[in-house]
Amino acid sequence: QPCQPDVVLVPCVGFTPDGYRLGYGGGYFDRYLAANPDITAIGVSWAIGQLNAQALQPEAHDVPLLCVLTE
């Protein structure tokens, strides 16, 4: 039986204060999180990756993160 995690740690190149992330361009996490809406998504990034809200415009398929962990 496949594992269904409660929490997923999502790598981020950058992130906004409202939880949207700049990923690595494959869209894998966005598709996975959209298909599994009950999973809590927590980002992992360097603090220097924080972007202002205007720097990244979320698209319809983007799923916001609950929070982002930094160093």
CA distance 71 to 53: 21
User: Is 44 inside any structural domain?
Assistant: yes
User: Is 55 inside any structural domain?
Assistant: no
User: Mean pLDDT throughout 4-15?
Assistant: 95
User: Is 41 inside any structural domain?
Assistant: yes
pLDDT for 65 equals 95
Domain, as residue range, for 25: 18-50
- Could you tell me what percent of the chain has a pLDDT over 90? 66
User: Residue 68: is its pLDDT beyond 90?
Assistant: yes
User: Is 61 inside any structural domain?
Assistant: no
Angle at 26 between CA 28 and CA 1, to 5 degrees: 20
User: Residue 39: is its pLDDT beyond 90?
Assistant: yes
Average of per-residue pLDDT values in the chain: 92
User: Is 43 inside any structural domain?
Assistant: yes
User: Residue 45: is its pLDDT beyond 90?
Assistant: yes
